[in-house]
Chains A and B, each alone.
Chain A
Amino acid sequence: MSADIIFTFNGFRRGFIATVPLGMGASTFGALFGFLADQQGLSAIEALLMSGLVFAGASQLVALELWSTNSSILLISLAAAFVNLRFMMMAAAMRPWLAGLSPAKAYGSLVLLVDMSFALSLSDMNKGGRDAAFFLGSSVLLWLVWVASTGFGFAFGHLLSDPEAWGLDFLVPACFISMTVPLYQQRRSLVPWSVAAGASCLAWQTLPGASYLLVGAVAGALTGALLDERR
């Protein structure tokens, strides 16, 4: 199954270009991070280094929260790992492509794994795509946009004072919604997705931080796997 996975420059370019529309959503978020980093007293270099080396928006915002409270380095690192636990599940779901690559290419591609490049790669994979470099191309575009927009937000954050009036904060959820719709398979998805929605809302009310995502995802996927077993 994995023997026919390829890794070409053409695939890289296809992934890079296919991700340009999503770059818009990422850039508003990146600019928001740059703006907030400035507010929290990070230097420009620190903000850019964090975007470049961590490259995970939600955990970077959490770090900004902890920054001002004199938290230990260990706590900040653990918080980042916890907020980003979803990446573990995404990397697992990328197995059909990654298992066909050399370990260097697979673990190298995973350096820049983020939600949007995962979602786009998954839909390319589901459409029969076999070129795993698509994933890296998509991630690299998002990384460039992320670092550049962090710098932009740091420098010009005051100009973006009211992005919500333009609905720009909705671009990120809109990306995920539009990529979820094609995954829907009537009988097979309805119950697991309902469970995921219910569990995540419950956890959103009761648990701290981003744990709602993990609770909902695991509850939904477990439900789906259990239902499939009984079918």
Chain B
Amino acid sequence: MSVDSLALLAILGMGLATYLVRASGFFLVQRLPRSRFLDAFLHHLPGAMFVALVTPPVLGGGPPTWAGALAVISCAALRAPLLVSLLAGAATVALLRQVLAGY
């Protein structure tokens, strides 16, 4: 149980850098002039961000994650509780990984 002083500095540096990123988004958006374009951009940002976040790894994961994603989308579209969607997705992925060796 020890803390190396360089490691501590690196951790503090990471924490500070990450907080500045967190704070700056709100800081900047409050100071930019409001416009319809900026509002529309911010409206589309979360959906586009989530799609961009999950699409490459899900496509790259092969048939098990493709089917898992379909299971989650179906559950969410049917307004199933979040926990049900998550378990359905994980179970689908686990099952297909058993059936299709190699993924």
Contact = CB atoms under 8 A, between A and B. Distances in A.
Contacts of B57: 173
Nearest to A126: B46
Interface size grouping (class) on chain A: 35 or more
Interface string B48-79: 11111111111111001100110011011100
A177 B10 contact: no
Interface string B1-40: 1111011111111111111111111101110000011101
Interface of A is mostly: helix
Interface string A209-231: 00011111111111111001100
A9 interface: no
A43 B2 contact: yes
Interface string A87-122: 111111111001100000011001101010011001
Contacts of A189: 44, 47
A178 B86 contact: yes
Interface string A48-83: 011001111001100100010000011011101100
Q: Give me the 8 closest cross-chain CB pairs, A-B, nearest first.
A: A216-B52, A220-B48, A224-B44, A91-B25, A77-B13, A167-B94, A88-B25, A167-B93
Interface of A: 21-22, 24-25, 42-46, 49-50, 53-56, 59-60, 63, 67, 73-74, 76-78, 80-81, 84-95, 98-99, 106-107, 110-111, 113, 115, 118-119, 122, 164-168, 170-171, 173-184, 189, 192-193, 195-197, 199-201, 204, 212-225, 228-229
